[in-house]
Chain A
Amino acid sequence: MTGITPKIRIRDLHKSFGSKKVLDGINLDVMPGTSFVIIGGSGSGKSVLLRCILGLITPDAGSIEIDGEDMLNATPRRQDALRGKIGMLFQNGALFDSLPVWENVTFGLLALKRITRKDARSHAGSILAQVGLDPSVGELYPSELSGGMQKRVGLARAIAAQPDILFFDEPTTGLDPIMGAVIDGLIVDCVKKLGSTAIAITHDMASAQRIGDEAAMLYKGQLIWQGPASSLMDSGNPMVDQFTHGRREGPITMELRR
């Protein structure tokens, strides 16, 4: 692996909200073309990590490089350019309620002036077809779609600009197992077709194994394990094993407020 610049390199990343440490010295290299899955319980810092990489949250300390370029110390214009390399599928879709689906899908392309409004409708139809949706869906509004369709539209929006990097925040949350598998399949297809580097965060083990080449587990703001996604279910790490098998007893204790 030496000599190849990681697509994303994170060093000693820290982030706290008040007295709560959310990220506590994260070090991570994601190599080009890799599908990387980060697992971890609710509140373990997975979403905060993604938002730090996207520049939506400013970390307290540490560095984030994208293609070898320092994201945190870049000029705002350069940060925008680096962010433009990333497509993101949000947990709840985050589709714009006030816009029809076709405008949601082509929003980024219109913002970058890579497409005219005149061509956007038909272009949206071809992207929607890539995620298994009929082009006529483009005329609907997000509130008229089912959860699974919203995820597909979110995926279509994320891949529309053919980004180098794709982020998936809990892509199967709230979906039935079959629809979850369909979305995972679409994600794998899209990532392969675009040749993108992907980071997915999830606590759905089936999804993690379907999407990921490599995986890591985040616990209390630290990466406690990293290895092939195929070995998630028998990692040999007691914490990972407890989490992936959903055991109540083990080294991970839930902090319950009484």
Chain B
Amino acid sequence: MLLDLVARLGRTTLGLIRAAGALTLFALSGLSHIVRPPFYGRVFLSTFLETGFFSLPVVALTALFSGGVIALQSYTGFAQYHVQSAIAGIVVLAVTRELGPVLAGLMVAGRVGAAMAAEIGTMRVTDQVDALSTLSTSPMKYLVAPRLLAGIIALPLLVMVADVLGVAGGFTVSVVKLGFSPHAYITATLNSVKVIDVTVGLVKAALFGFLIALMGCYYGYNSKGGAEGVGTATTSAVVAASILLLAFDYLLTDLFFSQ
């Protein structure tokens, strides 16, 4: 009974180590192909557009409403202590440090990470990935490297937009609903913006973009068994990317901001 338990625990641990090793090797291989020719500019551009440009509406709306919610909730709490003037600072801090990168990351993970896993997974189960190999083309170079690069570049750009719109959401709610003076709010916001907050937010975004693309590519590339396998790969890619994103968000926050 006890031996069975130990054996099961051992098998699970070995499985986890094996999976982590496989993922690490896949990531290193993908990264190495980013810097080694040939480069597939067309694939990169179309993935970049899909990841960045076409994710703009969903990221913009999420950031706008989240900024508004932060302003509203802060007001509810701060009004008790008569420190409503801190709302602008709270909004800008929350948006640039956390909400911008995390919400944009989660939105892109659901939208683009899933699409990557589904596309590559379908290519895998219909032999298109093998066909690439028979046509003198490395699937890692053609499918994975451009997507990783697109994720790394597109997410920080999206987060810049999310930062601006998040603050704009807070501004709109504060001025229109809570009766703040526009001039005072903007002044308070500008006084609260810190370069380090925005920079760390963008660094986080680049890492999140990499993680989202990595999970999409990894699960898609290793999918098996037809439509069901592609479905599983898609779900796994989104779940794994979301969890990793939040875990790395904590680690980076701890690294840069803990006293």
Contact = CB atoms under 8 A, between A and B. Distances in A.
A88 B137 contact: no
Interface in B119-175: 119, 122-123, 126-128, 130-131, 133-137
Interface in A84-123: 84, 86-88, 90-92, 94-98, 107-108, 111-112
A80 B119 CA distance: 25
A217 interface: no
A108 B128 CA distance: 13
B134 A54 contact: yes
Given A83-B133, A88-B134, A96-B128, 15 more contacts: A54-B133, A54-B134, A55-B133, A56-B134, A88-B131, A90-B130, A94-B128, A94-B131, A96-B131, A97-B122, A97-B123, A98-B119, A107-B135, A108-B134, A111-B136
Contacts, number: 49
A152 B133 CA distance: 20
Interface residues of B, number: 14
Nearest to A158: B134
B133 A84 contact: no
Interface of B: 38, 119, 122-123, 126-128, 130-131, 133-137
22 contacts: A54-B133, A56-B130, A56-B134, A80-B136, A83-B133, A83-B134, A84-B136, A86-B134, A88-B134, A94-B127, A94-B128, A94-B130, A97-B122, A97-B123, A97-B128, A98-B119, A107-B137, A108-B136, A111-B38, A111-B135, A111-B136, A112-B136
B223 to A, nearest CB: 15
Contact of A56 (B119, B133, B137): B133
A90 B131 contact: yes
Interface string A30-71: 000000000000000000000100111000000000000000
Main DSSP-derived SS at the B contact region: helix
B100 to A, nearest CB: 31
B126 A94 contact: yes
Contacts of A108: 134-137
Q: Classify chain A's interface size.
A: 20 to 34
Contacts of B131: 88, 90, 94-96
Nearest to A113: B38
Contacts of A157: 135
A90 B133 contact: no
B136 to A, nearest CB: 5
Interface in A105-151: 107-108, 111-112
Contact of A92 (B38, B127, B137): B127
A157 B128 CA distance: 13
